[in-house]
């Protein structure tokens, strides 16, 4: 659900148009893994997505910024409201700080 939220936000913002769909999908997977506390982008993830953590980190940071700003963005407000609903497990309100890479 969190990955779908990140991908839906990318459909509303022009800054994501230059990225390949496979890269967007991999970054959304990484984003959702970090938001839910899975801190390892391992060899299996890299094998099946064909992207390393370094390849997707900057894009995941952009997705994080978009998700943080979505409630106030007039283009993304509907998506935010959709994913803040209880039946979708409030995927947009998870606030784990995953960008600390060490």
Q: Nearest-5° angle of CA 100, CA 55, CA 61?
A: 40
Residues 48-98 have pLDDT tens digits of: 999 999 999 999 998 888 776 665 565 555 555 666 655 444 444 454 454
The answer to whether the predicted template modeling score (pTM) of the entire model surpasses 0.85 is no
CB of 92 within 8 A of CB of 80? yes
Residues 19-44 have pLDDT tens digits of: 999 999 999 999 888 888 877 899 99
Burial string for 65-85 (b: 16+ CB within 10 Å, else e) reads ebbeebeeeeebeebbeebbe
């Amino acid at each position: 659900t969190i990955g779908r939220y990140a991908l839906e936000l990318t459909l509303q913002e022009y800054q994501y148009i230059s990225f390949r769909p496979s890269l967007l999908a991999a970054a959304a997977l990484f984003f959702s893994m970090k938001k839910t506390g899975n801190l390892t982008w391992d060899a299996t993830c890299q094998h099946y997505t064909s992207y390393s953590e370094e390849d997707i980190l900057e894009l995941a940071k952009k997705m994080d910024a978009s998700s943080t700003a979505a409630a106030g963005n007039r283009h993304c407000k509907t998506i935010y409201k959709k994913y803040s609903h209880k039946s979708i497990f409030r995927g947009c309100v998870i606030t784990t700080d995953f960008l600390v890479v060490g």
